[in-house]
Structure 1
Amino acid sequence: MRGLITICSFLLVGVLTAHYIGFAHQADSDPKAVDKELEGLNEKYVLRFSHVVAENTPKGLAASMFAQLVREKTDGWVEVQVFPNAMLYEAQAEFDALMKKDIHIIAPALSEVTVIDPNWLVMDLPYVFRNEQMVEDALHGRIGELLFNSISDYGLHGITYWENSFKQVTNRIRPIINPEDIEGLSVRVMPSEALSDTYRVLGAKPRLFPFNEVYDVLSNGVVDGTENTLSNIYSKGFYRQQNYMTVSNHNYLGYAVFMNGKFWDSLPVDHQNSIIEAMNEVTVWLREHSNKINTEMLARIENSNLIEIHHQTESEKMVWRNALKPVYEKYGQIIDPELITEVTKLQE
């Protein structure tokens, strides 16, 4: 009798165990609902933002403001660390560092992007924009959309465009009023073939140097002059090393804010939305204040009495545009035809 009870007990335990295992397997195999928008929200992200200009320039101020807004909008779950003045990388080195995820955000000048994507040369055509409104219409319209689409093929995710101001020409040799006045001068330019060809067509000698070496090459007489915005000319002290400045507005210096495409896709959707929201607010602020900042810098340069300033007239601009037609003829064959068409519409 005792043996029978033992056998029945073993059979009962076996049945219960089999029943439990079967149901447990079935329960574990059921799919679990996952809210993708909430993934990663309990993880802190630290984003390194590298740029090459001073903190008191339009881009420097915008980067600091962006970092503060992102921290507020994510309740501290996303921290943006800003490294100005090429503390981490010079302009061209930033692209490689971004793709390696050594840094996470960059805001290079539009001219710097041309080294990677030739379509961006459209922004460096001389006198292509006549005023700030045309620039805004271009960057935040169809032209800006086409440029971001183009650069995405290279693994970069475009977030927004930041505006600064038009560039002016400075030099230590003589006043530059007519196109022939620049002939023979050496001029530091950013690494854009369109910018280099602009000076070659005029008989000048374009020279490439990193932004944070410009003060030294000007002061040592390695180059005769340079081109830049009034805020950079003042904040970096270029005007102290130059004798003449022509307020020409011949090219626009704006910035594109990029992140690594794969890294951007890995961020939680809520954090992406917060970053975009912060960027939009900074972009609007910068648009309103960059012109004011550059106007103030011009006044400071004038009050220094260290440099002779010539303001280019509309009739003089027409002469320069005619002299620079070969640049348009060359790059009209290189840049995406749709971009050229959009620029033509804008100018008309």
Structure 2
Amino acid sequence: MWHRIFLLLALPALLLVPSCSLQTLHPIPIDYEQVSDHEKIVIRFSHVVGEDTPKGQAARLFAKLMKERTNGKVEVQVFSNSSLYTDSEELDALSKGHVQIIAPALSKLTHLVPELGAFDLPFLFSSLEGYHQVFAGPIGKDISESLEEWEMVVLGFWDSGFKQFTNNLRPVRRPLDLAGTTIRIMPSAVLDEQFNLMQVNPVQMNFDDVYRALEQGWIHGQENTVSNIYTKRYHTVQKYMTISDHGYLGYVVVINKRFLQQLPEDVQNVIKKTMEEVSDWERKQAVKLEQEKLKEIYNCRCIEIERLTEQDKVIWKEFYKPLYEKMEQQLGRSFFRELGL
């Protein structure tokens, strides 16, 4: 009787032995798609523009490549359209470690690195290549070193492209055509001065709030790149658009320095190498998307479009000379020589 009871109690344990032995002989490989955040590296990448902009597409490509190149060990979570933080909140979120990567416009960092204000000067370079050369040279290196003092490591410089004017009152061909209007700008002393010269009332506003402000008539217009105008549908609530190429909108991709330094060296190298490749791709994509989206805006026939001629631009450049002189006094003649001016 006791013999039978012992067998009944021992049988379940005996049945488990083959299974345990099999797992010991053939260990299950780690599937990083199924493990917790404590076992994988999670990088939150927050930005404020649409997913179909150059920045939005490049952020997704970076996430895809990092997943592939680390076998899922590194998961980059991309939050677009200010879904996590607005452009006025993301710097603070980065410093507190709530996100690990952001890609703010250069204008948003001028209070930390005053030299970045030079890239808000209107008609600084006639081609994007002019900006690329500066970022790849001594000035770009100095900017990166300055941002490291603010606990940010620069991973790359991205393009959105050249900015264009839109407004609801009148076509824009001359610098004073917008006089008396209220125009949204990004936070920047240089942009503020630029629009003051145009006798415009410049208003700083979060990017995500601009569409409603235009729709409701709280502001008369704004300046932005074609891809941002298209993805945010500004052209559907504005009457006039001027292809002016008057200003540059670029981004600096930065990662929290403390977070980066805590990562394994091989992961740091993958991040830097992958971002370098993505940055090259992003710049080409910015040009391609601008051409595609401008064509779609033309085809919608929903906004009247003007285009500044080269003769028009000569007048605008002459108009902005006082602003250039003021910036040269602030940043120094040697800095402007490095810019090639």
Same fold at TM > 0.5: yes
1:266 aligns with 2:283: no
1:128-167 matches, within 5 Å, as: 128-167=124-163
Is the 2:155–2:276 contact (alpha carbons within 8 Å) kept by the matching residues of 1? Answer: no
1:243 aligns with 2:243: no
Deviations 1:65-109 (A, max 9, x none): 000111111121111000000011111211111011010000011
Is the 1:240–1:306 contact (alpha carbons within 8 Å) kept by the matching residues of 2? Answer: yes
Is the 1:177–1:312 contact (alpha carbons within 8 Å) kept by the matching residues of 2? Answer: yes
Q: Of residues 59, 73, 78 in structure 2, which corresponds to 1:77?
A: 73
1:314 aligns with 2:310: yes
Q: Which runs of 5+ in 1 are unaligned?
A: 1-41
Q: Of residues 72, 97, 101 in structure 2, which corresponds to 1:101?
A: 97
What SS does the aligned partner of 2:184 have?
strand
What is the identity percentage for the equivalent residue pairs of Structure 1 and Structure 2? 42
One-letter amino acid of the structure 1 residue matched with residue 280 of structure 2: V
1:201 aligns with 2:197: yes
CA shift for structure 1 position 45? 0.9
Give the Cα separation in 1 of the matches to 2:136 and 2:163: 20
Is the 1:229–1:253 contact (alpha carbons within 8 Å) kept by the matching residues of 2? Answer: yes
Is the 1:118–1:334 contact (alpha carbons within 8 Å) kept by the matching residues of 2? Answer: no
Give the Cα separation in 1 of the matches to 2:179 and 2:198: 6
CA shift for structure 1 position 142? 2.5
Give 1:214's aligned residue: 210
Give 1:257's aligned residue: 253
Q: Of residues 291, 295, 302 in structure 2, which corresponds to 1:295?
A: 291
Is the 1:127–1:249 contact (alpha carbons within 8 Å) kept by the matching residues of 2? Answer: yes
CA shift for structure 1 position 337? 5.1
Runs of 4+ in 1 over 6 A off after TM superposition: none
Give the Cα separation in 2 of the matches to 1:337 and 1:122: 12
Is the 1:115–1:191 contact (alpha carbons within 8 Å) kept by the matching residues of 2? Answer: no
CA shift for structure 1 position 116? 2.7
CA shift for structure 1 position 138? 1.7
Give the Cα separation in 2 of the matches to 1:73 and 1:301: 38
One-letter amino acid of the structure 1 residue matched with residue 273 of structure 2: E
What SS does the aligned partner of 2:176 have?
helix
**Larger-gyration structure (1/2):** 1
Is the 2:104–2:252 contact (alpha carbons within 8 Å) kept by the matching residues of 1? Answer: yes
**TM-score, scaled to structure 2:** 0.86
Aligned length: 304
CA shift for structure 1 position 335? 2.6
What SS does the aligned partner of 2:56 have?
helix
Q: Of residues 120, 126, 130 in structure 1, which corresponds to 2:122?
A: 126
Give 1:280's aligned residue: 276
1:329 aligns with 2:325: yes
Q: Which runs of 5+ in 2 are unaligned?
A: 1-37
1:68 aligns with 2:68: no
CA shift for structure 1 position 124? 0.5
What SS does the aligned partner of 2:139 have?
helix
Give 2:35's aligned residue: none
Give the Cα separation in 2 of the matches to 1:223 and 1:203: 15
Give 1:182's aligned residue: 178
Moved more, 267-276 or 138-147: 138-147
Give the Cα separation in 2 of the matches to 1:85 and 1:331: 33
One-letter amino acid of the structure 1 residue matched with residue 190 of structure 2: A
Deviations 1:208-240 (A, max 9, x none): 110000000101111111000000101100001
CA shift for structure 1 position 140? 2.3
Deviations 1:161-189 (A, max 9, x none): 11221000000000010112121111100
CA shift for structure 1 position 336? 5.7
Give the Cα separation in 1 of the matches to 2:143 and 2:57: 25
What SS does the aligned partner of 1:288 have?
helix
Give the Cα separation in 2 of the matches to 1:101 and 1:340: 35
One-letter amino acid of the structure 2 residue matched with residue 259 of structure 1: I
Moved more, 79-88 or 133-142: 133-142
CA shift for structure 1 position 115? 3.1
Give 1:16's aligned residue: none
